[in-house]
């Protein structure tokens, strides 16, 4: 089995790396949070000191980081992966970043004989824990095929969607749909509550029809129970929508609904909810209607 380097052991990276260890892969890990590094080390992972070090010790390196600047720093910065100059090394970036940054990093790695797959994920912490994430991948198809089994260890589905950058385009499309679905659900449940109808019964009544969705089933129960612990934080969705809007402007696509939801999330951030789950979008509507959705 290939030896895997894993950089970024946060909400998503921590359970993903654990699933790789459970599957029998030997891991080398790196993160700024020493507590999580120690936890992975206790499960058998080796600890690296720099991204260059992790690249030299691994056959494949997975990155799971907050945004484009962090990925660029880890791959291209001082003591970065690129400095290992390891011919044939595959870097699988499972972060959600701007597609143009993925293309830039890919080109620079290629100059050193290394490869990049942009492979962002969807599903949040629960699916990271149970290994059923959806992974959308851009990049060289041969490198994708060689590393499919590694990605499938962490996922329910792994789909190659095109050349480098295509994975992050697919993820941006995913984040548009998720954000607008949560906003629509919030509008509906706030309307039901304000009109004196049980939002829980409305949810049960509509979930089997055309309005039903994975988003509805994942988020409505959390809202009804007032559980806003982050599966996917508001501030991270803001980051993704910023990448969506930047990309849409570059290619000339107006996104009026996405822009509206972005401003709702910015309002929630201003109210101090940026570290809550994105289902906290309901609080934006609750504030407008002076009502609270609950069982």
Is 171 noted as a catalytic residue in this protein? yes
Phi, psi angles (nearest 5°) of residue 271? -85, 0
Phi, psi angles (nearest 5°) of residue 112? -105, 10
**Where would I find the H helices in the chain?**
13-22, 34-42, 51-57, 68-76, 99-110, 124-130, 141-153, 166-194, 199-206, 214-224, 234-251, 256-270, 281-289
Q: Which of 52, 127, 171, 283 is catalytic?
A: 171
Residue located via tokens 């004196």: 196
CA distance 70 to 97: 10
Shortest CA distance to 6 belongs to which of 58, 70, 43? 58
Residue positions annotated with a catalytic role: 171
């Amino acid at each position: 089995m290939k030896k895997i380097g894993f950089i970024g052991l946060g909400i998503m990276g921590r359970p993903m790396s654990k699933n790789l260890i459970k599957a029998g892969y030997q891991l080398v890990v790196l993160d700024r949070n020493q507590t999580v590094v120690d936890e992975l080390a206790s499960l058998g992972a080796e600890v690296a000191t720099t991204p260059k070090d992790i690249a030299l010790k691994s056959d494949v390196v997975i990155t799971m980081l907050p945004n484009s600047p962090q990925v660029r720093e880890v791959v291209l910065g001082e003591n970065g992966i690129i400095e290992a100059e390891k011919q044939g090394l595959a870097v699988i970036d499972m972060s959600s970043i701007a597609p143009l940054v993925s293309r830039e990093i890919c080109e620079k790695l290629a100059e050193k004989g290394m490869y990049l797959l942009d492979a962002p994920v969807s599903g949040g912490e629960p699916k990271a824990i149970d290994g059923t994430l959806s992974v959308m991948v851009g990049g060289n198809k041969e490198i994708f095929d060689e590393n499919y089994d590694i990605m499938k260890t962490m996922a329910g589905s792994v789909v190659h969607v095109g050349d480098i950058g295509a994975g992050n385009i697919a993820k941006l499309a995913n984040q548009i749909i998720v954000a607008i679905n949560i906003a629509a659900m919030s509008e509906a449940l706030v309307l039901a509550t304000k009109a004196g109808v049980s939002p829980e019964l409305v949810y049960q009544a509509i979930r089997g029809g055309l309005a039903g969705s994975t988003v509805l089933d994942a988020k409505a129960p959390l809202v009804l129970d007032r559980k806003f612990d982050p599966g996917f934080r508001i501030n991270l969705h803001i980051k993704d929508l910023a990448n969506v809007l930047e990309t849409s402007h570059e290619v000339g696509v107006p996104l009026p609904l996405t822009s509206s939801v972005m401003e709702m999330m910015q309002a929630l951030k201003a109210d101090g909810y940026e570290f809550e789950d994105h289902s906290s979008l309901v609080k934006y509507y609750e504030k407008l209607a002076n009502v609270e959705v609950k069982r």
